[in-house]
Chain A
Amino acid sequence: MTARDQQFFALYRQHRVEDQRGFYDGRRREFRAAQDESVWLVAVLEEKTRNGI
């Protein structure tokens, strides 16, 4: 394998594969957190509404 190939593969792994993985992992965590928050928010609003705020 030439030096060029080695540099390309290292670059590809870090800035293509890991970059994409990091992006989707971040989104997954964020959406899961947002989903949890929306469940809490709905529960609090329902409770407040039931008790006349």
Chain B
Amino acid sequence: MPALLDIQHLSVSFKTDEGRVPAVNDVSLTLERGQVLGLVGESGCGKSVTAMSILRLIPQPPGQIDAGKILFHGHDLLPLPIDELRTVRGRRIAMIFQEPMTALSPLHRIGAQLVETLRLHRDLDRKAAWKIATHWLTKVGIADAAERMHAWPHQLSGGMRQRVMIAMALMLDPVLLIADEPTTALDVTVQAQIFDLMRDLMKKDAGLLLITHDMGVIWEMCTHVAVMYASEVVETGPVDAVFENPLHPYTRALLAAIPGNAPPQQRLPAIPGQVPSPLNLPDGCHFADRCPLVFERCRREHPPLYTKDNRFSRCFLAEEANT
């Protein structure tokens, strides 16, 4: 049976004044039903562009999908005509964005936006749709849901708006939920409530692609993880295995740099330097300049993704471990 989501060799670039900038390079990811795949990396590494490309939400131009396939249940979404893609968007694959402030229309009341979404995808009259929408607002933990249906987005707090977005995404019972930093703007206690809602969806055998920069979130929520660095996937594998024994030096450094993992008041094992500019990526390994284990070949040759016990690492050291 084909995987729920199978991204193969995706490459996306953006046209800028300074030339074509690669945002995503040869990214391959697989997600099965019931799994939670965490996509982790630092700002600008291409994790959001990867997620947006699945539903072709990147603005084209300046963006452009240069190569790759996005197989959803085995069917490639990329060549799909836009009206067919619309039947997939929302109903089969739902997406939650980072900014709950901008994702809702400021000119329409909460209830109207929820009802519109429902009626677009399902054959319902206004009254029935209103009832379902109110029910979902209660389900995501909004008090006085019936009253809140009449509220304008600006009358709600950030946490409440994000919960409205989550209700909107979940009420169509998607089989795949893509959540791009869904809780970054929220307080930790609200974040915990929202993760509970997502866990409930997973129990219904849906798949979740969760984009975050927080390794703690990956640990608590995900079954699998893909680490991105400078437009590429550098490591993927089951969360327990990757956290216990990271194969790529970047993953290892990222885990070590989390303040909670180090003894207090001691210097943190920081990663020296900065992420290379996407306009000027090194020929060899993108991480070479910051890597504590760098050797001559890393600067000369670009490492491919090596396989090791169902895990992948884009590092020459992983190749050596294999032979």
Please determine whether chains A and B interact with each other in the same assembly: no
Chain B interface (Cβ < 8 Å from any Cβ of A): none
Chain A interface (Cβ < 8 Å from any Cβ of B): none
